[in-house]
Structure 1
Amino acid sequence: MRRYREAHDLVVWRLESRLLLFGVLTECFQAPKVGPFMRLQTLLEARWILAFLALVAVAATFFSVWLSLFCLLLFFLTVAFFRDPERMVPPDPNSIVAAADGIVMDIVELDENEVIKTKTRRIGIFLSIFDVHTNRAPVDGRVIYRQHQEGLCLDARHPDSPEKNES
């Protein structure tokens, strides 16, 4: 009787743990968030990179465990690069928040002569590979004009990058 009880408990534990894992996985792919710490949207941008790295990691297990582990490391670094954690935004509609994580490189007053025809401020923020690469709207409002500007791909820290880079 005791052996039966231990086996029964083991089967119930395995079943519960599998159901828990299944529940967590279905929540991840049905909800707009991956857990309480990240949105799924930016990870979807990296889906082809992640799929390729996962495939290479599986294929690499046939050749070398170290190569497979290196591919898995690249996989997790890619997930870290494309992360998008929740940010708390003040409820005040007149507040201004940072558009991105990173270091403010410059704040420049400009004359905007195309659309709103007034003085504006451009805030340049440098993002390292360790910063979250999601840009957010710093103020409440709506987009009334959008234009693509052809340009170069200078390093973001270069002084001419705001004027000469593609945007």
Structure 2
Amino acid sequence: MKLHKESRGTLIVASVSFALIAFLAVYFLEGWSLLVLLPLLVLYGLVFWFFRVPEREILEHHENVIAPVDGKVVMIKKVYEEEILKSEAIQVSIFMSPLNVHICRYPVSGQVTYKKYHPGKYLVAWHEKSSTENERTTVAVQSRTDHTVVFRQIAGYVARRIVFYCKEGDQAKAGHEFGFIKFGSRMDVFLPLDTEILCKIGDKTKGGIDIIAKMQS
């Protein structure tokens, strides 16, 4: 199984902790040590599972908006996007549990025109105000259909590390990686009002594969 590069620090800490606790359990608990080691081994395995990088065939897209992450659609509504667009837009929010793949992907193809990191709170990721009050990043892409598409990585109550690798001027390719979030969080995508939404609340998404909307050319 291929692991994401963001796993390095976490795996070192997890491995050292596992080895230390295992040693203490065997030394002090002797025959009872399995009561500690078995659940600990499960947790250790979940850390590897969290950082997995699945192989996916990413296609070329022009008008399609691609799911930026694996997760569940929790919000589709008209909102006022005040940071970039300064106008109304359709917000599609996808929540990621700790068991989902946490690679963050471009939802559309085009050129990156804006990026910014915002420090903030750590409200639960499904809280409506987390989009504007939590620790987050904002990225804007001028799409191939000549629309400005804004999207945000949002930290949650557990997620405390957001990484995004893109730079202004980069060429964005729908479905391709631009960042990563650790341990549960949310992605918001802000689309033009005339966008055809192809997903609904409750849908499970596969990042880089599923089409969640289609923009007008």
Tell me if TM exceeds 0.5.
Answer: yes
Structure 2 CA distance for partners of 1:56 and 1:156, relative to 1, 3 Å: same
Instruction: Tell me, yes or no, if structure 1 residue 48 matches structure 2 residue 12.
Output: yes
Structure 2 CA distance for partners of 1:158 and 1:114, relative to 1, 3 Å: closer
Aligned-pair identity (%): 30
Instruction: Tell me, yes or no, if structure 1 residue 104 matches structure 2 residue 73.
Output: yes
Q: What stretches of structure 2 of length at least 5 have no aligned partner?
A: 137-217
Aligned 1:32-71 pairs, distance under 5 A: 34=1, 38-44=2-8, 46-59=10-23, 60-63=25-28, 64-71=33-40
Q: Which amino acid aligns with 1:56?
A: L
Give the structure 1 partner of residue 98 of structure 2: 129
Whole-Å Cα distance in 1 between the matches of residues 68 and 44 of structure 2?
27
Give the structure 1 partner of residue 129 of structure 2: 160
Q: Which amino acid aligns with 1:62?
A: Y
3-state SS, counterpart of residue 48 of structure 1: helix
Q: Which amino acid aligns with 1:69?
A: L
Q: Is the 8 A contact 1:46 1:82 kept in 2?
A: no
Whole-Å Cα distance in 2 between the matches of residues 123 and 136 of structure 1?
15
Q: Is the 8 A contact 1:81 1:132 kept in 2?
A: yes
3-state SS, counterpart of residue 144 of structure 1: strand
Return the offset for 1:95. 3.1
Whole-Å Cα distance in 2 between the matches of residues 141 and 66 of structure 1?
53
Give the structure 2 partner of residue 29 of structure 1: none
Higher share in strand: 2
Match of 1:80 among 42, 49, 53: 49
3-state SS, counterpart of residue 74 of structure 1: helix
Whole-Å Cα distance in 2 between the matches of residues 142 and 46 of structure 1?
32
- Name whichever of 41-50 and 125-134 sits farther off: 41-50
Whole-Å Cα distance in 2 between the matches of residues 106 and 84 of structure 1?
26
Return the offset for 1:57. 4.9
RMSD (Å) for aligned C-alpha atoms: 2.7
Higher share in helix: 1
Following TM superposition, the consecutive aligned residue runs of length 4 or more in structure 1 with deviations greater than 6 angstroms are none
Whole-Å Cα distance in 2 between the matches of residues 83 and 91 of structure 1?
24
3-state SS, counterpart of residue 153 of structure 1: coil
